[in-house]
Structures are given as C-alpha cells and as structure tokens.
Amino acid sequence: MSKTGKPARQKGSRIGIAARIYAALGVLTVLTIAASLVAWFSYGRVGSTVADMVERKMPVVELALELSQAATASTALAPRFMEVQSVRERAALTGEFDKVEARQFDLVRKIGEGNVDNKKAQAALDALSRQINDLNDLTGERLRNNAEAAAVLEKLGKAYEAFVKAASGEAEQAKFAVTFGLDDLAVLSGEALTGAVKTLMDRDFAIFDLARTLQANVNEMVGVLREVAQINDKEKLSLARERFNGIAYRLRTLLADAEKITPNKARAKTVEDLIAIGEGSDGLIDIRNRDITTRETITRGLKEVDQAAAQLRREVDGLVQGARGEAQAAVGSTKELIETSKLWLGVIGLGSLVVALALALFYVRRQIVGRLNKLWAATKAIADGELETAVDTKGNDEIADISKSVLLFRDNAVALRAAELAKVED
C-alpha cells in the first residue's frame, strides 16, 4: 500500500508592512482630501455669497435708495407747476422734470438688471410720471386760460372806452336838449307850449334818463366782469353769472327802448360788444370757469401725485427690504454652512488623529517596534552564545521572515555546537 501523503499547509495571503503603512497613510490622505473639499466648498459658498452681495444686493439697495431720492425730487417739483406764470418758466420746469424722470427710469432699469422683480416699482413710477405730466398739461391749460382772460380784459377796457365815447356824447346831447327845451318853455304859450312840454317829456327826458340808466348798468356790468376775473370759487362765479345775465337783460331792454326813441347803431354795437365779452364759451365767465376747474383739477392732481409718490416709496422700500432680506438669508445660510463645515472639519481632524494614534500605538509600536525590539534582543543573545534563546516567528510579514532566518541561524549554530561536542567526546 502506498502511503498517503500529508496535505500541504496552504500559505495565508501575505500583507507586508509597507502595504499596511501605505494603506494607513492612504486613509489619512483620504481624510485630508475630504477636509480640503469641505473647506473648499465652504470657502466657495462664502465667496459666492460675498460676490452676490457686493455685485447684486448692495447695488440694488443703493439704486433703490437713489430712486427714492429721485422720486422725492420729482414730487417736490410738482407743486412748482402751480407757481408757473409764463411759458418760459413752464419750459424750464419741464426740462428739469424731464431730467429727473429720465434718471428715475434709468435707475429702475438698472434695478431690473440685478435679477430683481421691478415690475411694481416700474408701474408706480409710471403712475407718478403720468400724474406729474398731467399737472404739466394742466399748467399749460391754466396759462392759456390766463392769456385768454388777459386778452378779454384788454378787450373789455377798449369796448368800455368805445361805449363811453358813444354814450357820453348822446347823454350830453340829451342833457342839452332838456336844458334848451326848459328854456324854451318860458317864451311859449298855448298849443306851442303844450307841444314843447310833450316833446320834452316823451323824448328828451326819456332819452336823457335812458342814457344815464344805460351808462349806470354798463358800469355795473363792467364791475361784475372785473370781479369775475378775480373769483376763485365756482359758487361765487355762479352768483356773478346770474348778476351778469340780469344786467345783460336790462341793458338789452334799455337798448331796445332807446332804439325806439332815437336809433343809434354805434351805441347798440358798443353795448352788444360789452355783453359779448361775458357771454358764450369765449366769454370771460366761461374762461374763468374753465380756469377754476383747471385749478381744482391741479389741486386734486397734487394729492394724486402725493399718493403715487407714496406708492413708489412703498415699492422702493419693498425692494430695499427684499434685497436686505435676501442678504440676511444668505448670511444666515452661510453661517450655518460654516458651522456645519467646522463640525465636519473637526470630525475629520479627530478621525485623522484617531487613525494616526491607532497606527502609532496599535500597529507601529506593537507590530513593528515591539517585534523588532524582541528580534534584536534575541539576535543579540544568540550572537552572545545564548543558543537557547526563543525566537518569535509569528506573523506573515518581513519581520517574521527575518525571525525565521534568525531561528535557522540559531538552529544551525546549535547543530554545529553539537557536532563539535561530539568530536571532542570521540
């Protein structure tokens, strides 16, 4: 029978000292890279936050504050339209407002370029500009009303002068006729006296009385028209219109009576010219009514300008608060990220320290330094002749290989010594 051989002992997988040290250093390197990545990500986030604040949020706040100042300036210009008294003043004020308006629209455009929703601010600015432009248009209308009123008043003065010339001559003639007729009565008698008295009463006295009454009513109407030019209240203007209409009716009645007695085209024309100055859409009363309406609209417009400006300020404050809120949120998230990164860096640093200590204490000190010290002591003892010294050959690394070589050296030395002793005994 053949002998069955003993199965060979399988060699375990060999992991050398260098491989273990490199693996430990690799772990430390990975931890260092992880710490670097965490720090890089954190610094990148901080950098992007700072860049966003510097390049977008802070400029938006500055632009919004500048827009608020420009809106305040444009609002301050609005009441000055009420003080404009000439076309030149209006043109200068319009040019000043156009510059402020252009600056406002430019600021809103720049705010929109900062990835900020500026639609509400743009709408509020459009409303404010529209209100102020309406005030500008109303100012032009007010100036036209003033110019028309001035022209009508000048026309009133000329028409009154023409009436005075026409009516005064007629009144003087009527007065002369009355005086002359009264003088004639002293030398007349009978039917001649009766006829003279009748003529004096029916014609001369009537003409004289109509002339004086006509002149008195014209003077009253001119006074009413000059008063109308100073009225700033529609209720008072309505009363003045009623007075004017009453005087105009009396004048036309007196004029008709006078024309029946002594026709006078010049007198009739001057009276109608005076009445026409106050009547109709081109008359002083309607002009004054339009001017009062325009001024009331301007007053309401100033209130609407204040409301539009307040709305724009609210929108600007919203932009400022929004930018500041985003900045604060970014700062908060960045702080949170920094704290988290600090925690991760601390954990990774502590892990690296634990790995390094474990490598030093449990592997380098025990598996390398301790075994090398034992091997060195055993080798020294064998070299000193202590061949009974035990040699630890445990392990599957380079130190174990060296230990086995020392053990082989010791065994050879023991065999050599035994051979020498055997020779001596022989």
Length of the chain measured in residues: 426
pLDDT reported for residue 74: 85
> Between the CA of residue 132 and those of 278, 295, 356, what are the distances in Å?
33, 14, 77
Distance between first and last Cα of the chain: 42
* DSSP code at position 6: P
pLDDT under 70: residue ranges of the chain = 1-17, 43, 47, 49-57, 168-209, 426
pLDDT for the residue 419: 84
Contact 261, 209 (CB under 8 A): no
383 vs 393: CA distance, rounded Å: 18
Token pair listed for 150? 């001035």
Looking up tokens 């709408």 gives 123
pLDDT for position 57: 67
Angle among Cα 144, 150, 152 to the nearest 5 degrees reads 100
Q: What is the pLDDT of residue 324?
A: 76
What pLDDT, on a 0 to 100 scale, did the predictor assign at position 60? 75
Interaxial angle between packed helices 58-77 and 87-113, expressed in degrees from 0 to 180 and rounded to the nearest 10: 160
Question: What does the pLDDT read at residue 7?
Answer: 45
Q: What's residue 50's pLDDT?
A: 67
Supply the pTM of this predicted model.
Answer: 0.63
Rounded Cα–Cα distance for residues 421 and 141 (Å) = 142
State pLDDT tens for residues 368-389: 778 788 888 888 888 887 878 8
Q: Is 392 helix (H, G, I), strand (E, B) or coil?
A: coil
Q: Which pLDDT score is estimated for 1?
A: 39
The answer to whether the beta carbons of residues 302 and 135 sit under 8 Å apart is yes
What is the DSSP secondary-structure string of 238-306?
HHHHHHHHHHHHHHHHHHHHHHHHS--HHHHHHHHHHHHHHSSTTSHHHHHHHHHHHHHHHHHHHHHHH
Report which DSSP code applies to 3: P
Total Cβ atoms within 10 A of residue 412:
11
């474990």: which residue's tokens? 358
Confidence (pLDDT) at 2: 42
Alpha helices (H) in 279-384, listed in sequence order = 284-358, 371-383
Tokens 């390197």 sit on residue: 29
How many CB atoms neighbour CB 88 within 10 A?
9
